[in-house]
Structure 1
């Protein structure tokens, strides 16, 4: 007799995986909830997961077993990860997930929505089958927000100060405006990120957290002012484009209400 599959949902601390946990709670009572804790999460993320855990009525298992970011940073010679060296995803997310699963047959629930145009690597192990309930049921961003609001959880609190993603506070996929907001909201964490960057450069690291601009350069007051201005201008252009799109929708009723949302980053970190 073949072994019954385990049902596992990986939480990132983001809105989509949290909403999926709420959505699936009563549909799959035997669900296991896990979180790959890098040891470098925002305090808001930890608080949000604690509230989600209370809502689910069962523990969220931590999978990293003490081998957090600082451990793997030493293993990789103090070279901070980057878009070209994503050892953080491999060692802090994928490896703990596959170790937790082992050889058991597993159905892995992933929070990709029906309005997203992205794919991502979770695992290629043959015993792991990924399923996408939101896509299968046609749920889009507005549905995810509704699910979270109706549950009482609401959106992750870091979104209130303008951060768009979960994951490590120094994630190299952050936009420059998010670095500025981290500096303003959590100056202690910004300083830690600077220290990691400086130490990596001392050991020959070729990358900054933020592409070709160091955090020391980015935090200059005039540079932060420039980044804010550029961001506000880009938001104004988007609002203008959205207004024009709505006019087109009035004239042409087969236009989509919303364009599919696109996002860059590690799927297992940011959903």
Structure 2
């Protein structure tokens, strides 16, 4: 007996995944979505507030997934012991694997799953794609809703005959010649996969989606067995400002850690905030974000500091050194200098300053 396809949306505690839940509930209420949150036990309090607000808006619980359910300690502390006190880092992200990806894949099991991912149209990244063939990622905020692996299968030169055939079958007569010419143009150094993708999307996004949906037939992707998929009509391309608007207008609200807080040093004023969700001691934080944690959540900073032992630190600089008065002063002055150089319109949030760092990290934690 064929298992029914499940539709899952992971809530990270950040703005994008929360906004995606709101967006899909409003635009695609026909989707029977399941929501989940991989709880490390080390989240900011603002993260739990966001999830509670989202549950109230959706009228549905967000399932908590824990990586070490049977341990007397929370998931992160459990695995710190397993790894002998070795802290995760950008080059050894065991936290992502153990606390986020493995609980998710256990939750999925062998069920066919469509996973909805909140990467925006103004971001140049792909995000997590499972290696399990029963999990397919979809990106509703982007004009191109399909994952990189699907696009590659569809646009590879070996698939041109089938691509052309579906365009001939599904196109309106007035557009047939143009889209068929694009479809049968082979990939080359002068016409890359990205260029061909954008050309076909520019020609007709909905048509491209229908062609891709047709080309999934006979593959192992979960949507290969679907008779219809409402997101084929998607033409939206949502950017950061749209995300904040969705959160505000829904009443769910923007996570409080994005809000600017003013600080002063040497008679100069600057602002700090946090650019991401995730654990309060995330090693992807900028130095000024560590200062924000030290001054706004001193109890959490002390907990982060307590992990730095046996020679392990969260970054190349220890937290003990980071909070020395001279170092704090310099970090704040550096942040003020960066803010003065920053371009773009004024914003109630500091992401116009921190945007270069916003995309650094793991999509499983931060979207």
If the TM-score is normalised by the length of the shorter chain, which range does it land in?
Answer: 0.7 to 0.9
2:95 paired residue number: 88
How far does the alpha carbon of each residue in 1:99-150 deviate from its partner, in whole angstroms, 9 at most, with x for none?
A: 0000000000000000001222242110000000000321111111111111
Structure 1: state its 5+ residue gaps: 244-258
1:199-218 equivalent positions in 2, closer than 5 A: 200-201=310-311, 205=312, 208-210=313-315, 212-218=316-322
Displacement after TM superposition at 1:159 (Å): 1.0
> Does the CA-based 8 Å contact 1:94-1:122 persist in structure 2?
no
1:43-192 equivalent positions in 2, closer than 5 A: 43-64=45-66, 66=69, 68-136=75-143, 137-160=236-259, 161=261, 162-192=273-303
> Does the CA-based 8 Å contact 1:122-1:267 persist in structure 2?
no
Displacement after TM superposition at 1:262 (Å): 6.0
- Does 2:319 align with 1:223? no
Displacement after TM superposition at 1:235 (Å): 1.1
Q: Report 1 or 2 for greater relative contact order, CA contacts < 8 Å, sequence distance ≥ 6.
A: 1
Displacement after TM superposition at 1:84 (Å): 1.1
Quote the Cα distance in structure 2 between the aligned partners of 1:116 and 1:261.
12
- Secondary structure in 1 aligned to 2:342? helix
The RMSD of aligned alpha carbons is 1.8
Quote the Cα distance in structure 2 between the aligned partners of 1:56 and 1:181.
31
Quote the Cα distance in structure 2 between the aligned partners of 1:261 and 1:9.
24
1:239-250 equivalent positions in 2, closer than 5 A: 239=343, 242=344
- Secondary structure in 2 aligned to 1:34? strand
Displacement after TM superposition at 1:222 (Å): 1.6
Displacement after TM superposition at 1:25 (Å): 1.6
Q: TM-score, normalised by structure 1?
A: 0.87
Q: TM-score, normalised by structure 2?
A: 0.65
> Does the CA-based 8 Å contact 1:115-1:141 persist in structure 2?
yes
Displacement after TM superposition at 1:154 (Å): 2.0
2:339 paired residue number: 235
Displacement after TM superposition at 1:223 (Å): 0.8
Quote the Cα distance in structure 2 between the aligned partners of 1:262 and 1:164.
6
Displacement after TM superposition at 1:260 (Å): 9.6
> Does the CA-based 8 Å contact 1:148-1:154 persist in structure 2?
yes
Quote the Cα distance in structure 2 between the aligned partners of 1:188 and 1:21.
31
> Does the CA-based 8 Å contact 1:117-1:260 persist in structure 2?
no
- Does 2:308 align with 1:197? yes
Aligned length: 247
> Does the CA-based 8 Å contact 2:276-2:358 persist in structure 1?
no
- Secondary structure in 1 aligned to 2:36? strand
Q: 1:33 aligns with which of 4, 22, 35?
A: 35
Q: Could you tell which deviates more after superposition, 107-116 or 154-163?
A: 154-163
Quote the Cα distance in structure 1 between the aligned partners of 2:240 and 2:77.
35
